C-alpha cells in the first residue's frame, strides 16, 4: 500500500482553482432557475423573460438544435429540466 501523498504541480493547482468557479457559476444558474417560477414546460417568452435571453436568440438556438425543445405547430415548447441541463452545458448539441 502506497502511503505517499501525490505532489501537486503548478498546472494542476491552477486548473483546480479555476474549476470551483465554473461549478459555482453553474450552481448559481441552477439555483436562480429553481427560485424562479418557471413552468415545467416553457415557451420562448418564458425563457426570454426569466433567463434574460432575447426571444430571437432563443428561437435561433431552438431552430439550430442547440437548445432542447419541440416545435408543435408554430409554437416551441422547452422542458424546464432540459433548459437547466442546457444552461449547465450538459445538453448534447
Task: Give the model's pLDDT for residue 31.
Answer: 66
DSSP 14-66: HHHHHHHHHHHHHHHHHHHHHHS---SEE-HHHHHHHH---HHHHHHHHHHTS
pLDDT of 23 reads 52
> Which pLDDT value is given to residue 83?
87
Give the model's pLDDT for residue 64: 96
pLDDT score of 1 = 54
pTM value?
0.59
Residue spans per domain, the chain: 31-93
**Could you tell me the three cell numbers for 32?**
436562480
pLDDT of residue 88: 80
Q: In 3-state terms, what secondary structure has residue 90?
A: coil
CATH number of 31-93: 1.10.10
What is the block-wise mean pLDDT of the chain (93 residues), using blocks of 10 residues? 49 41 53 72 93 93 95 96 82 53
The residue among 43, 24, 91 whose CA lies nearest residue 51 is 43
> For the purposes of burial, counting CB atoms within 10 Å of the CB of 72, is it exposed (0-12), middle (13-18) or buried (19 or more)?
exposed
Amino acid at each position: 500500500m502506497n502511503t505517499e501523498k501525490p505532489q501537486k504541480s503548478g498546472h494542476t493547482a491552477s486548473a483546480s482553482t479555476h474549476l470551483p468557479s465554473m461549478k459555482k457559476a453553474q450552481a448559481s444558474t441552477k439555483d436562480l432557475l429553481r427560485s424562479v417560477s418557471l413552468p415545467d414546460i416553457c415557451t420562448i417568452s418564458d425563457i426570454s423573460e426569466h433567463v434574460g435571453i432575447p426571444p430571437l436568440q432563443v428561437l435561433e438556438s431552438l431552430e439550430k438544435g442547440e437548445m432542447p425543445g419541440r416545435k408543435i405547430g408554430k409554437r416551441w415548447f422547452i422542458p424546464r429540466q432540459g433548459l437547466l441541463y442546457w444552461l449547465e452545458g450538459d445538453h448534447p448539441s
